[in-house]
Amino acid sequence: MDSDTIVKVEHVSMKFNLSSEKFDSFKEYVIKSVKRQVSFDEFWALKDVSFEVKRSESLGLIGLNGSGKSTMLKVIAGVLKPTKGKLTVNGDIAPLIELGAGFDMDLTARENVFLNGALLGYNRAQMEEQYENIVEFSELSEFMNIPVKNFSSGMVSRLAFAIATIGTPDILIVDEVLSVGDFRFQEKCEARIQRMRDNGTTILFVSHSLEQVESICDRIVWLEKGHLKMFGDAEEICKIYAES
Amino acid sequence: MSKYINNFLKFQPLLSELVARDIKIKYRRSVLGVLWTLLNPLFMMIILSIVFSNIFKFEVENFPLYVLSGQVIFNFFNDATTNSMTSIISSASLIKKVYVPKYLFVLSRVVSSFINLMAAFTALLLVMMATRIELHWTAFLAFIPLFMVVGFSLGVGLILAALTVKFRDIMHLYSVFTTGLMYLTPIIYPMNILPERIKQVVMLNPLTNYLIMFRNLMLDNTLPSWSSILVGIAEMVIVLILGVYVFYKKQDEFILNI
């Protein structure tokens, strides 16, 4: 693997057993095994997908709902292990998958900044340094000592975005997060993503807004029902995708 | 191996944040706050001593201290394992979205229980001073059985956490189990009132061994025998290895079941 490649996805497949969701308890499991009701409905969320991303390139993932975009991102982020295939990542990942996932609703915003920072692998001293920056960007300075459970969803995502985009991670994963928050804040976020991109961060971007994808990404992976339909230059694929 | 160590070092700040969160949330909005970790075992000791020195009358010297030292060990085990059991399930929203080494959630619960253990241990020392019991030099060696019980609890916690993800019934069953286990540990009764057969069963409980070592060191100025130290370490190591193995094998399935 040459040093230019930051993410390499080779023949990745991801299988879910739909039946594993169906029982929660041992009793149910025993009863259903005796009755032979444990059927294994297989569902392939991803099937034999391969592509690679070069350093400081940004990649968009497009496709309809349920085409496997988020599953792909979760595989890259290391949350899911692929059933088959191989994944190589050469760098730090700052995941933005669903903003606010790392928040504890009972803690104050301030305490959550440190908890969330630690989730991303920053220590306390580094977070102290970034704290002002986060408060300023999220525009929540009056609310930092209030438990997050009293926040509106827009406020939560502002805070989460501000935390996830501190520093310069090698890879930033953005999963439809720009659809939350008001118009002005969306612009602010987009500007920040652009700036990180200029500083050499690789962006992995999922959105249903083709405009956003086109303005941020160089290359595009187009998924359809778990299969890789197309992989290539952003402009070309956006054109084809818009027409389909 | 170095890969795992590096990964742990990277997420070490997260461990401290998780522990801080556990403790903050537990005592949020209570007036006395963390002081409760100290007061709780003391109040329990007072009640148990009143009940058992007036109703059942065991022939034990310094009964309050006897009970309290038993509680220090058993409550830690109970706390650490019960909290570890649900640690993975209750962190579901995180595990589904961000990559974090999953054993950290179990470890953080054990560490916060350990902080409670230290508070209970302080309570024990305070009562010893208040009742003017001589503090023997062997008390400095009390860290040996404490260390073993921490390792043992971590092993049990890892097993429970991994299995509970798939079989939620364990959560309900486990509190029954620990109640039974409490009576199989000489916390409130002295060993010498037990009939021979029951005594053998009680001795099979690994906690009994840890507790007796701890009590001997703290209260009786007696060093544990080599055999009980070796048995204690062996039990700890076996449970730890088993815990790490089960957890490691199961951890990739967690996300499919939470």
Would the pLDDT of A179 be above 90?
no
Q: Tell me the pLDDT tens digit for each residue of B130-171.
A: 888 888 888 899 999 999 999 999 999 999 999 999 888 899
Q: What is the pLDDT of residue A105?
A: 82
For residue A164, what is the nearest residue in chain B, using CA coordinates?
A: B98
Would the pLDDT of B258 be above 80?
no
What letter does residue A216 receive in the DSSP assignment? H
Name the residue facing A97 among B13, B18, B97 (closest C-beta).
B97
How much is the pTM? 0.84
R_g (Cα) of chain B, nearest Å: 19
Instruction: Lowest mean pLDDT of A69-78, A129-138, B52-61, B233-242, name the range.
Output: B52-61
Q: Do B97 and A95 touch (CB under 8 A)?
A: yes
Instruction: Sketch out chain A's domains with CATH numbers.
Output: 5-96+165-243 (3.40.50.300)
**Chain B residues touching residue A107 (CB < 8 angstroms):** 21, 24-25
Q: How far is A212 from chain B (nearest CA, A)?
A: 23
- Rounded to whole angstroms, the Cα distance separating B81 from A45 reads 36
**Chain B residues touching residue A27 (CB < 8 angstroms):** 169
Q: What is the pLDDT of residue A170?
A: 85
The predicted complex's ipTM stands at: 0.75
How many Cβ atoms are within 10 Å of A66's Cβ, its own excluded?
12
B106: part of which helix (H) or strand (E)?
A: helix B103-130
Q: Which of A104, A122, A124 to mutate to test the interface with B (most CBs of B within 10 A)?
A: A104
Plot region of A98 (φ>0 → left; ψ -120 to 50 → alpha; else → beta): left
Instruction: Lowest mean pLDDT of A10-14, A85-89, B52-56, B173-177, name the range.
Output: B52-56
Name the residue facing A106 among B12, B28, B255 (closest C-beta).
B28
Q: What is the pLDDT of residue A182?
A: 77
Count of domains for chain B = 1
- Transcribe B168-193 into DSSP letters: THHHHHHHHHHHHHHHTS-SSS-GGG
Taking each helix axis from N to C end, the angle separating B196-204 and B206-219, rounded to the nearest 10 degrees, works out to 90
Residue type, A74: K
Report the percentage of chain A scoring pLDDT > 70: 86
Q: What is the mean pLDDT of residues A15-37?
A: 67
* Mean pLDDT of chain A, nearest integer: 82
Domain that holds residue B203: 2-257
Per-residue pLDDT band for A1 (boundaries 50, 70, 90) equals very low
Q: How far is B93 from chain A (nearest CA, A)?
A: 6
- Rounded to whole angstroms, the Cα distance separating A219 from A229 reads 14
Evaluate whether A159 touches A134 at the Cβ level (below 8 Å).
yes
Would the pLDDT of A21 be above 70?
no
Per-residue pLDDT band for B217 (boundaries 50, 70, 90) equals very high
Per-residue pLDDT band for B8 (boundaries 50, 70, 90) equals confident
Q: What is the pLDDT of residue A97?
A: 56
Higher pLDDT, A221 or B37: A221
Would the pLDDT of B60 be above 90?
no
Instruction: Lowest mean pLDDT of A29-33, A36-40, B183-187, B252-256, name the range.
Output: A36-40
Q: Hunting for tokens 């409760």 — which residue is that?
A: B36
Would the pLDDT of A36 be above 70?
no
Q: What is the mean pLDDT of residues A224-242?
A: 85
Q: What is the mean pLDDT of residues B103-119?
A: 93
